[in-house]
Chains A and B, each alone.
Chain A
Amino acid sequence: GENVEQHPSTLSVQEGDSAVIKCTYSDSASNYFPWYKQELGKRPQLIIDIRSNVGEKKDQRIAVTLNKTAKHFSLHITETQPEDSAVYFCAASMGMDTGRRALTFGSGTRLQVQP
């Protein structure tokens, strides 16, 4: 089955700096890669996603890049703000081709933005 590894497990940055979180996946059939943000005690919320036919996607201060050859994808947050502090999870799945279509999650990155 799919295996997703995520690094780093914790990341501390100063407000205004950029943050980068990296994930690798094992199953070359995976074609959908979402990122979720989870604030303390809350549910995971989708913040951005990318499909395998796209190399990069941006949404304001957030961007995701995908390298299918190397089987890794990254989340980039620019101009970080204290409200970006949370745990971020990457995930991978096969979007259309399996009955299960579940997400395999990375272990999470705790991001702290210091004011």
Chain B
Amino acid sequence: NAGVTQTPKFRVLKTGQSMTLLCAQDMNHEYMYWYRQDPGMGLRLIHYSVGEGTTAKGEVPDGYNVSRLKKQNFLLGLESAAPSQTSVYFCASRDAGGAKNIQYFGAGTRLSVL
């Protein structure tokens, strides 16, 4: 049981390049989230998904797209990377049921855009 797995762990892009970050969870969770973490700003929600085939915008969605074609995978795409997207990206998942909102995080992807 790996939990939440993110690939890649590190990436360096040039301005204008595109890439996709993959998040995979093996806990059969309905909800999945993408956050970015910048120094002094905590984690901010980019996009989220409440189930297979559904996605929605979070607080800072501009410049990103997402897809949830399979329940276990949540992809985050950068179509044309910008230096402002240099950040650490965390994926998280949670079960749909239960009174708590316990989210399980992946190990993160450190992205630098030059």
Which residues of A approach B to under 8 Å, CB–CB? Answer: 1, 4, 6, 9, 32, 34, 42-46, 49, 51, 89, 93, 95-96, 99-108
Contact = CB atoms under 8 A, between A and B. Distances in A.
B44 A105 contact: yes
Nearest to A49: B100
B42 A106 contact: yes
B48, B59, B100: residue with the most chain A Cβ atoms closer than 10 Å: B100
Contact of B105 (A9, A44, A99): A44
B31 interface: yes
A32 B98 CA distance: 12
Contact of B43 (A42, A51, A89): A89
Would you list the 5 A-B pairs with minimal beta carbon distance, nearest first? A105-B42, A43-B105, A107-B42, A105-B43, A93-B101
Contacts, number: 62
A45 B106 CA distance: 10
Contacts of B41: 107
Given A43-B90, A89-B43, A105-B42, A49 B48 contact: no
Interface string B29-59: 0010101000011111100101000001011
B102 A34 contact: yes
A interface, over-half SS? loop
Contacts of A9: 40
Interface string B98-114: 01111101111000000
Contacts of B102: 34, 46, 49
Contact of A102 (B33, B99, B106): B33
A9 B39 CA distance: 11
B39 to A, nearest CB: 9
Contacts of B58: 100, 102
Contact of A1 (B56, B59, B90, B94): B59
Contacts of B40: 9, 107-108
Contact of B94 (A42, A43, A101, A107): A101
